Each structure stands twice: as C-alpha cells, then as structure tokens.
Amino acid sequence: HERNAGLGAMARRVLWAAWAALLALSAAESFLSNEDVGDTAQTCNVDTVQVANLRQLHPILHDLVNTTFFRLFRVNLRNPTCAYWKSPDAEETSSPSSGTCTGSVPTLGSQPAFMSKGGFSGFSSRSAPTEPGCAVEADGSSEGIDRKLTVQEKVAQLERGNETEECEFEEDLPTYWVDMCSGDHAKGMSLEDVNLIKNPERNTGYNGSHIWQAMYDENCFEVGSAMPRGRFASDAAMCYEERVLYRLLSGWHASTSISIAKNFYAPGTKQKGSWAPNLERFMKDIGDHPERAKNLHFSFVVLLRAVRKAAPFLQSYAFHTGDDKEDTKTKMLMSRLLDSQLLSLCSPLFEAFDETRLFRSSSTEQRSQLKRQFKSVFRNITELVDCVQCQRCRLHAKLFSLGLGTALKILLSPEDLISTSTSRDDVVALVNILWKMSDSLEDVRLMTKQYYEEHNQKPKEEAPRPTGPSVTVPRLEGDNQPMPLSARRELLDLSLAAVRHSSSKGLLPSEAEETLLRFLMSGASEEVLLLARHYAADRPETFCRLALFSTEKEKASLAPAVLLQEAYGSKQRPADAIVIGGGLAGMSASMALLDRGGSVVMVEKQPYLGGNSGKASSGINAALETSVESLVADTTKSAGSLARPDLIQRLAEESAEAVSWLRDRTKVDLSLRSQLGGHSVKRTLRPSNAFVGAELTFAAGQVLTKTAEQGGNFRLLLKSKWTALSRSEDLWKVEVQVNGSTQVLYGHQVIIATGGFGHDVKETESLLLKHRPDLADFPTTLGPQTTGDGVKFARDFGAGLVDMDKVQLHPTGFVDIKKPLENTKTLCAELLRGVGGLLLDRNGRRFTNELGTRQAVVNAELKADQAGLSLPQPSPHRAFALVLNSKAAKQADRHVTLYSKKGLLTKVEGVEGLAQHFGYEVDILKQSLQDYNDAAKNGSDVFGRTVFPDYTIEETEDFYVGEVVPVIHYTMGGIAINVEGQVLDKDQKVIPGLYAIGEASGGVHGDNRLAGNSLLECTVFGRHVGLALPIRTGSAAGTAATASTTTSSAVSVTVSPPAELRKITQEELSKHRADGDLWVSLYGQVYDMTEYVWEHPGGSQAIFDVGGQDGTVTFEAVHNKELLETMGFQPVGVLA
C-alpha cells in the first residue's frame, strides 16, 4: 500500500476506474455475463478477473512455473496410505489396480450431498464405492509419471532441506492455522521430486467421481442447531464457512475438469502430434454451468489475496536451486509478479475476498467450533487425495490441496508467522495452482470461443460489447487524423506527473488537483495535451495553471490566483519559521506560532507526524496540583552533577501552563495521575483509557493536518529528508529531498526538532558509536528515523554540543519471544513498575528498587548480569523477568491488554505457573513474594524502596509475565541552547534565528532524564519558542480560530443540523476495506478512514487490519472513544 503522495483518494478512484474501463474494452468474449463473482467485494466481477488475468498475471505466471524452483514438487506417489476405503481392489503399491475400470472421465456432481442437509456421515462408516478408481494411464506410460530429472534439477534436489510441521490445537492462538495443510514432507514418507512441466494434468481415463463426491460430503459443518447457518442466505443455506470451502472445492474441481477437457484426446486420435480438446465435455461440465466458472474465479481471487498478503515473504525468498543465474531469474520473475501494475493498482481485485468474515459468530464457543470444523474438514479433504489411485491424478490433487491449504494458512495466520510456517513445497504449490487457475481462466475463454466457432453460433445470453480498444479522440479543426493512442498516453503521463509535482510542492490546492485529474482522465482535449508536450516536464506549475482554464465546471469557482501565489517557504515569500521534525516538540512550536498568525513550513521525513513522542506511554509531568519546587528538586536529583538550574527552572515553572495549553488545544484527557520512579509525588498525567503519547501526537497531528489542508499560513511536507542548512541575505536556506527531487525552503528562523541520535548506529557518521561505543550491542526503543540529523547539521554550522555521552538506558524494553534478538524493542512503560510490577533474576529473586531512577535500575540490572543472574538462554543478553500480579495488572489494564495482544506479556496461573514459566524453584519464588509483602507492610525494603501499592500479592492469583532488557531510550546530549531555546555556538553565543527543542537539544536533563519529562520538555520549550520568536509575515488571524473560520479565499458554509445517519449492514461494511475505500466500525458507528489511513502515526497497517470490520477492541487498546469526536471524525452511518 505505498501511498501516491500526489493523488487524493478520489483521484485514485478516478484513475482506477479509467484504467479498468480501458482494459475492459479489449476483454475477450465469454459465456459469462459481467456479474459479481460472489462472496467478494462488488467491484470484483468476472470481467475484472478475466481481463486482469489475461493482461498481467497469465504471462508472468507462465514464465515463473517454468523455472527450476517451481517446476519441482516433492511428493509421495509410490506408497500412499488411503485411510477411508479398504476395498480388496484398492491399490497396495504403485502397480495398477485390478478393480473395474471404465475409462470414463470424472464428472461434476449436480449438487454436493450435504446441501440437502440430510445429515453427516463420517468416513469411518463409509462403504466402498460401487465403482472404485482405476489406474489406467491413457498417455501410455507404465506409471503415468515422467521421473526423469535434468542435471540442474538434480542439483536443486540436493539443495533441499528437511522441513517439519507441528500441530496446533488451541483455536484462539495465532499459530492455530500453521498446520492447515501438510505436505508429504511432513509425514516422513518416501519422497521424490517430480517435474510438473513434464507431467501436466490431462485425461488419463481415471474415474475419480467417488473421490470428488467424498470431498463434497466431507464439507459439512455439524456444530449444532444454534449455529447461525443462515447468516448470508435462508435458514437452510450453508453457513459462510461451508460456502467458502465448497466454492474452493468447486473451483479446484472446475480447474481439473477444464485441464482434462483441454487435453482429452491423446496425440494421434483427433490431432496429430498433440493432445486435442473435448469441447463437448467442456461445455457439459463448465459451459452449461456458469456458477462453476464463477467458483473458479472466486478461488482465483482467494489465491491472489493470499499471494498479496505473503508478498513481503515472497519478495525476500531465496528460491535456492544451486544455480545462481537461474535463482536470479526466478527472483526477477517473482518481483515482476509482486510489483506488477496489477498488484499496485487493481486493489478491488486483490482485496475482493475478505477472510475476516470467517468465524464471525457472536458466541466464543461457536467460533471455536467453526474453526475446528473448518480446519478438520479441510485436512480430511487433503487426506482423501491419497485415495486417488492414478499417480498423475494424485500428483496434481496433492499439488492443489497443498496450494489451497497454503493460501488459507496465509490468510488466516498473522503476517509475522508466514515466514516461519511456510515451507518450500508450500511456496511451490501456491504459485503452481495460481498458474493452473490462471491458465484455466484463459482456457475457458479460448474453448468457449472455439466451441461456438465450430458450431457456428453465439454464446448464450451474450451481451454486445466492444472487441478492441477503440477510443474516440477529439480532433483539432482541419485535422483529418486523431492523435495516436500511444501519443495520448505518453502526454497523459506527462500531465499527471506535472499535477503530482505541483501538488507535492504545495502549489496546487487539493480541489484544483482533483479537478485536473478528473479532466485529464475523462478525456483531455488535444489542446491541453499539446500544452503538456511543451510545458508539463519543464514548467509543471505553468501547465497546471493553464490547464485549469480548459475545465468547464471548475473554471468559474477556482481562482487562478491560487496557483499564481507563491507558497510559503519560497525565496519571495519566506516563512516565519521552518520547523524540521514532526514530533510533539515541533508540533507544539508550530501550533503556538500559528496561533499568533505566524507562517510555518514543517518538514518531516516520516510519512506521518508524531515521531518518537507517539511511543511515550507513561505520562507527562506537570506541577498542576503539586509544587514547582518539588518538580525542580526531583529533576535536579535525576540530572546529577550536570544539572543546569536555569533550564530545569524554565521546565518546571512553565509546566502547568504549557500542559494545560496542550490539553485544551488537543482536547486530550489527562485526568489520571500517577507516581513514577524517581518522583517524590504523584504528578505524571495520562489519559484514563489510552496511551498518552499516541493520544497527544494524534490530536496535535490532526490539528496541523487540517490547518495544512485549509492552506493559508501552514505548509506540511511529509516524507521529506533534510539534506542541507545554510544562511544568506538574512534568510535561512533549508534543502530537502521530496519525492526524489531537491527542494529549497527559505525562512526567517529555523527550529530544529529532529529528535535524538539513539538509532544512529548504521549511519556513515554515527554519533552514538562516536560518543558511546560501549552501547553498540544494546537494543533500542527508538524509531529508525532517530539518527541525529539536526544535531549534525547544527554542529556543522557552528553550534555547540553538550553532554553527548549521556545516553539514557531504559531498564525495561520488552523481549518478543518470537524475535528475541531483534534490535528494536517495544518500550515496557514505567507505569507497569509504578503499579507494582516486580523485576526478578534467573533464580526468582528481586535485586533492585523497581521505583528507583532509570539509571539506578539499569545499574542494578548490569550488576546482576555481570554476576550471572540474568535469565539463561534462549533469553537474550541482560534479560530479566517482569512480573505483575492480577491486582497490578488491573490498574494498568490498557497497557496489559495491548502488551498481551502483542505477545509481550503472558498470563500464568498462580505461583506454580509463574515458577514453571521461568524455571524457578517454587520455594524460592514464594519466599521472594513473601519478603516483598513483608516490606510493603513495614514501608521499606533492603533496596531502599519506600513506596508500595496498597495490596498483598497472593500465591493463588493470576500473574502477567514477560522478559525485559535495558534499552537505549533517550539521548540527553545534543545542541546547546539557552532558556529561550536559542542555539548557542561553541563560545556560548546565540546563533540568531536558530532554535533547537525536544531531544535534539541538550542540557535540560543533565546526566539522566526523569520519567515523564520528555513530553514535558517538548511541550514547554516547543510552546515557548512558538510564542517568543518574532513574526515578520503571515496573517493577523491564526489557527486558533480555524474551527469557525478559514482562509479569506474559502467559501463560507452555512451549518445545517446533522442528518440522521443511515444504517450500514455488516456485509456492506466488509466491502470497504481496500486502499482508496476504507471503512471501520467503532462503537457501533461506521467511519470513512480512506483519507486518514496513510496519515496514522501508528502506521497504515493498524487501520488496514480492521478495515471493513469492527475495530473497537483494537482502537481501545491505544485510544479512547472521546478522541473520535474531539478530533472531528464524522460517522458515515451506524452499524445495523
């Protein structure tokens, strides 16, 4: 979902519609009308799938499956074990059966037996079929399999590793689906590698109708009358889970029947030298049953969705065969498939099937039953293929069952499990059956056309449709020939690039951008295209301005002066301030400055605002109901010998006013108050039901984003990397990289708010490794953008740096047991120790005061580690146990819920469960907890702890446990500043017009930062700078009034009473889950997140994960309900 920065959501929909329409012009004739595939999004119809396959996927997949890697499939064909039929005629070895053989081709049953709902008959009581399968091989080979391998294939065979799979039985575990399918490699059988190209699927004369019927019979969910069987149809209909499996089976069956019909007559019987089709058989099995072809399309769409979800895994897959040249070719073809225009543009096709609709029962037990039935039924179906007695047929049946199972496993499992649960054979099977279905779709088109040509008649119910890409092109007067289509496309491409360029520079308002895109995609005149030829590339702004004059509807309402006006940040119109960095410090400075009527250009190299401030979870300090003196004292104590009284005094004195301003400006609830480590009183504020950093940065980001959209005094550049800083003619000059090109910004002042350098270990010049090489192997909680850019540019300009060796280690960064050695850790909030969380060593004993300063706790951890008391392997270096009893967990419910959902905390039962989890001796653990309880009663312990929660830890209660390590969390050092936030040079003199705030600055925290002071510093100094720096340009009205007024060029709007929200069904909601069309249900109301998804500070995936469904639980884990209203989100309807 890589965002096209220059295109709005509406524009993307316009582009998609135009592109799809163009492809549809050349769609081949088909006996299917242009109808929905079914059980998919409405945008997914047969033509969409057919055209997309024909134009993009089919040729790429053809080349891909012919590579060495994908043509070799490891399988057991010689001694399969059929668990269901024990007929005397059953095949014992690979030799042909002596049973009755008619040589007939299997036919599709008219209806699966279970659809009559006459009951479920297990395989254990099934009698032998009246006509067992036969092993006749119509192609003449003794066993039906060409087992010859080339030298290259034999090398690839030797390169293979052994893979195993484990079974998973807990329905609610993320790993439940990893054993959805089991290839033969997991069964310890006699295996061989078979070349799929040499052994194509075709008519062997084998009658497998009893196998197909058994598969359909097996697809029957018997989970009691209480199950919602009629959720998507009548009460007697299949439940959705049954229907999905049935349609996948039918799609598989249809593909097999098409392959057999295509290669029905052996060479020499109907056609010399090659296999010939049986068109009558094809029409009987497929042509006369359009629903079967629709099921083929449906299965194809499901596979596409699985491939798209697994794209990161497939993109990085090794495809190792021992031949580097061949492997490179395979990777290139896979990249072509994954990077194709289809994958980037055709989201309605790839997002058409929504697996999240599965297992939606309101009852937990029913959901578990459905999951068990779904998995059990599919695994039983895969076992049935071992009962296929024709070896070539069994080869392709195994390939298909493994491929479908792999697709389901990928769709139903979390993304982080794909790489560890997907075997080589899974990858081979998935791509091969995608190719088989792709080929079948093309065969349907070709054989249908061939059938009607031979019978000299038209397809049934054929709708008239254009057969080629005929496009009517407007012509100039006197011109006898229209502009060639290729030339139009080339000039249209130049035009779109010019629009994108002007939009990214902030020179084209969003409404003008959309108007131009609509005009261009709906058929721009040749005059405009000729204009594009001469101006779009070199003078895009001129092209856009003049192209607007050619639009009929928008010419009167859009003032060309909007484009003629220089944007803030140009040399002719310098901004009051260029703010570099979009964390809380930069946003606070911007809001304060804008409120005064100043002009701001903000540069942020991430795709969204928030920075590391968005990760803060413990709170923000303020002397609201506590004294300024106590905050000064606690901060000074934490800062140690490097405390700077003037900076600390400014921080504490302005804390109450600044935090109150931030709370009022963002409408974020800060009602909860707690006491963190290193504090003498309760002064740390946070929301009652959300994470403080996420809430504050989200809200502030929304304020600024809306301001930028309104135009006026604020310009926002995202995904823009700062590359140079200089000063000339009393103006600061800032160079940034935007969309691959250099852009120069001019301003009267520059505010550096780029954060610290705690992730600066891989940069060319690492500040971290230069000043603290001893921390090279410590993990970090900081984002990859924290590379000290601002510190380096300021230093190079002559700024002084202070306390650069003062890097704060946070004592608790979570260890993800699935990725224990990953360098970037999730911060374990100070709050968890504040509510009573304990730190235990490898023996189950406490070793520190959990509420001590961060440095004190870290020092205790390092000392314990040196004494050999950290957790043993496989835990990483310097790991210790974090333990919360149920009472402590309840006080930090929001945090515990989120960390548990991420797999960072695990719930265990009682002291025995706790001891078992970490391998502790129960008696030692009990004594540790008793000692803690005794200390709490006495008011102190041997580690100097004097503050305890008002509860006793009980041996029988539940515990939440995790592993934590000390992590790089904050860099106290940075650019030298004074109390006004002005940058000082190496001689402690002010550098006029240059400011530094937030973690980019140094000196505020001294030797060690006090918990909760990071967000406070960002707010206090950011706001102070925004209020203090001089304003030279801008309007008299700031953004404080933007709730009721807009810029002078805006059209006034009369506010009407809100209309009653319409009701939206779950089915309708589920259709809006793609890029460009994304809805989410929250608290019973449906919100359109299409525009916001790419701006979400937590990343777009978090919203895409709940797109088209209810995301309340996920939302509540981080945010609160009030956020929706306070930040202006308006529902589009209510969930029915």
Enumerate the active-site residues. 810, 833
For 981, phi then psi, to 5°, come to: 80, 5
**C-alpha 6 chain-centroid distance:** 21
Closest CA to 901 of 1101, 1117, 578, 625: 1117
| One-letter amino acid for residue 639 of the chain | A
**Cα dihedral sign for 251, 254, 260, 262?**
negative
Spell out the residues 6+ positions from residue 822 whose beta carbon is closer than 8 angstroms to its own. Answer: 779, 816
Task: Tell me the CA distances in angstroms from 946 to 220, 930, 1011, one per residue in order.
Answer: 63, 17, 18
**Virtual torsion, Cα 519, 523, 528, 532, nearest 10 deg:** 90
SS3 assignment, position 1073 = strand
3-state DSSP assignment of residue 1068: helix
Q: Which residues contact 397 (CB under 8 A, 6 or more apart)?
A: 211, 385, 388
Instruction: List C-alpha distances in Å: 41 to 47, 121, 298, 725.
Output: 14, 34, 11, 50
- The answer to whether the CB of 526 falls within 8 A of the CB of 475 is yes
Cα–Cα distance for residue pair 118/312, rounded to 1 Å: 45
Give dist(CA 727, CA 395) in Å, integer: 72
Q: 125 burial class (0-12, 13-18, 19+ CB within 10 angstroms)?
A: exposed
Question: Which H or E run includes 862?
Answer: helix 854-866
Distance of CA 127 to the CA centre of its chain: 49
Are 46 and 301 in contact by the 8 Å Cβ rule? The answer is: no
Structure tokens at 693: 């950093």
Beta-ladder partners of 731? 728
Phi, psi of 1026 (to 5 degrees): -60, -30
1128 within 8 A of 702, measured Cβ to Cβ: yes
Q: Are the CB atoms for 536 and 41 separated by under 8 Å?
A: no
Q: Tell how many helices (H) and how many strands (E) occur in the chain.
A: 40, 27
DSSP 12-56: HHHHHHHHHHHHHTTPPP-SS-S-B-SSS-TT-BHHHHHHHIIII
Would you give the DSSP letter of residue 684?
A: E
Q: DSSP for 206-217?
A: ---HHHHHHHHH
